[in-house]
Chain A
Amino acid sequence: GENVEQHPSTLSVQEGDSAVIKCTYSDSASNYFPWYKQELGKGPQLIIDIRSNVGEKKDQRIAVTLNKTAKHFSLHITETQPEDSAVYFCAARSNFGNEKLTFGTGTRLTIIP
């Protein structure tokens, strides 16, 4: 089955700096890669996703890049703000066979004011 690894497990950045979280996946048939943000006491919320027919997608301060050859994808947050502090999860899903989402282990991002 799919295996998703996520790094780093914790990340602290100064407010205004950029943050990058990286994930690798094992199943070459995976073609959908969402990122979720989980705030304290809440469920994960989708913030951005990318499908395998594109290499990069942006939404304001958030961007995701995908390298299918290397089987890795990354989340980039620019101009970080205190409200970006949360746990971020990457996930991967194949449209063949087992279609369920496999999540990474999460990155706790702390923005230092």
Chain B
Amino acid sequence: DAGVIQSPRHEVTEMGQEVTLRCKPISGHNSLFWYRQTMMRGLELLIYFNNNVPIDDSGMPEDRFSAKMPNASFSTLKIQPSEPRDSAVYFCASSLRSVTDTQYFGPGTRLTVL
């Protein structure tokens, strides 16, 4: 069975450009999480969805970040406009039912904003 799928794996863009990261959760999983990993701040939860509905977006850094989950098999994290400090590895994870279930992480997207 395929795990969590993320695309692209690497993204290099220039400051001010829009960036869209994509995630396909494990089939049948009802919760989806977006994390950001940096050396300075470690692994931080940005937002999580349950049954396609955003439950907690308190970790979203600012209005430049937005996330959507139009259906059970797809989610996007968008940064507009991007800034150099957004450079990080962004992970998507999914769990079977809720935030209290085991989370399975994707391989991540390494974002570099020049």
A contact residues vs B (CB 8 Å cutoff):
32, 34, 36, 41-46, 49, 89, 93, 95, 98-101, 103-106
Contacts and interface: CB of A to CB of B under 8 A. Distances in A.
Contact of A89 (B43, B93, B104): B43
Interface stretch (B12-20, B60-68, B78-86, B105-113): B105-113
A interface secondary structure, majority: loop
Contact of A45 (B42, B44, B45, B105): B105
Interface of B: 4, 42-45, 48, 56, 59, 91, 93, 99-100, 102-108
Nearest to B89: A43
10 contacts: A42-B107, A43-B4, A43-B106, A44-B43, A46-B102, A49-B102, A89-B42, A93-B99, A100-B48, A104-B42
A32 B104 CA distance: 16
A100 B45 contact: yes
Contacts, number: 45
A103 B42 contact: yes
A99 B99 contact: yes
A101 B103 contact: yes
B103 A46 contact: yes
Given A32-B100, A100-B48, A100-B99, A43 B43 contact: no
A95 B98 CA distance: 11
B42 A105 contact: yes
Contacts of A95: 100
